[in-house]
Amino acid sequence: MRVLITAGPTREYLDDVRYLSNASSGRMGYAIAQAGIEQGWDVVLVSGPVDLSPPPGCEFHAVVTTSQMRDTAIRLFPGCDGVIAAAAVCDYKPRERISGKLSKTGGPITLVMIETDDVLAELGRMKEQRWVVGFALEAQNPRENALQKLRRKNCDWIVLNAPTAIGADTNVCEFLGPAGETLAVWSGSKADVGNQLVQWLQATAADGE
């Protein structure tokens, strides 16, 4: 089974040296990639900037911006059986990128932000016979928001976790199905959670169930 995995944060530049991002370490996505390789999957890993080495044996694509992650994922997805979208992409970017370095003016500045590409939604729209696993990191109304995301972005399943997962070595996840049912609850190291997710998908998605 050939599986696309997205991991890590993306960056959106204000000028040539400053950017917006988040504290995602990429550990969850990389743990899933490692577990997939150990399961015998043909893993294609698309990653934003992280301080991790790609698991040996995967096909690796490094990106920086959300647009780059979108373009790379859209190009690679048709050759895969499914996607696990674990990346924590930036939702907004500055409307204009300033050339050079923005200097202090002695007063406040105003930034106009626009939405970035919705990578998961685009993959969901083009999935056809392929399967899609999304990740939802939610702070308010977590289960309701995760299920809305699952349906809005045409996912088959979604992994719900909390903001405490960002940058941590461990994770607590609720794995939700399309009818809103809880299919599993996983906790422990991100390696443990990644293994359990991969084993579930191997037993289910690989058999076309």
What's the pLDDT at 168? 87
Partners of 81 in the β-ladder? none
How many CB atoms within 10 Å of residue 83?
27
pLDDT in tens, 114-147: 999 999 999 999 999 999 999 999 988 999 999 9
Asked if 22 is an active-site residue, the reply is: yes
The CA distance from 149 to 115, in Å, is 16
Can you tell me the distance from the alpha carbon of 70 to that of 118, in angstroms, rounded to the nearest whole number? 8
| pLDDT value for 76 | 98
Catalytic residue among 22, 145, 161, 195: 22
Q: Which pTM does this prediction carry?
A: 0.95
Q: Phi and psi for 156 in degrees, rounded to 5? A: -85, -40
Cβ density class 2-35: b for 16+ within 10 Å, e for less = ebbbbbbbbbbbbeeeebbbbebbbbbbbbbbbb
Residue ranges per structural domain of the chain: 2-101+110-207
Torsion of CA 130, 22, 15, 48, to 10 degrees: -40
Encode pLDDT of 22-65 as tens digits: 999 999 999 999 999 999 999 999 999 999 999 999 999 999 99
- State the Cα–Cα distance between residues 36 and 200, nearest whole angstrom: 11
Question: Pairing state of beta strands 157-161 and 170-176?
Answer: antiparallel
Confidence check: pLDDT of 190 > 90: yes
Asked if the model's pLDDT at residue 208 lies above 60, the reply is: no
Rounded CA-CA distance 90/23 in Å is: 11
Q: In this predicted model, what pLDDT tens digit does every residue of 57-112 receive, in sequence order?
A: 999 999 999 999 999 999 999 999 999 999 999 999 999 999 999 998 899 989 99
Give me the pLDDT at residue 157, please: 98
Sheet bearing 182-189, strands edge to edge:
59-62, 42-47, 2-7, 82-85, 131-137, 157-161, 170-176, 182-189
Query: Which CATH number does 2-101+110-207 carry?
Result: 3.40.50.10300
pLDDT digits 0-9 by tens, 168-179: 899 999 999 999
Q: CA torsion sign, 115 to 166 to 77 to 151?
A: negative
Six-digit token pair at 24?
């995602």
**pLDDT band with cut points at 50, 70 and 90 for residue 209:** very low
Q: How confident is the model at residue 207 (pLDDT cuts 50, 70, 90)?
A: low
Asked if residue 160 has pLDDT above 90, the reply is yes
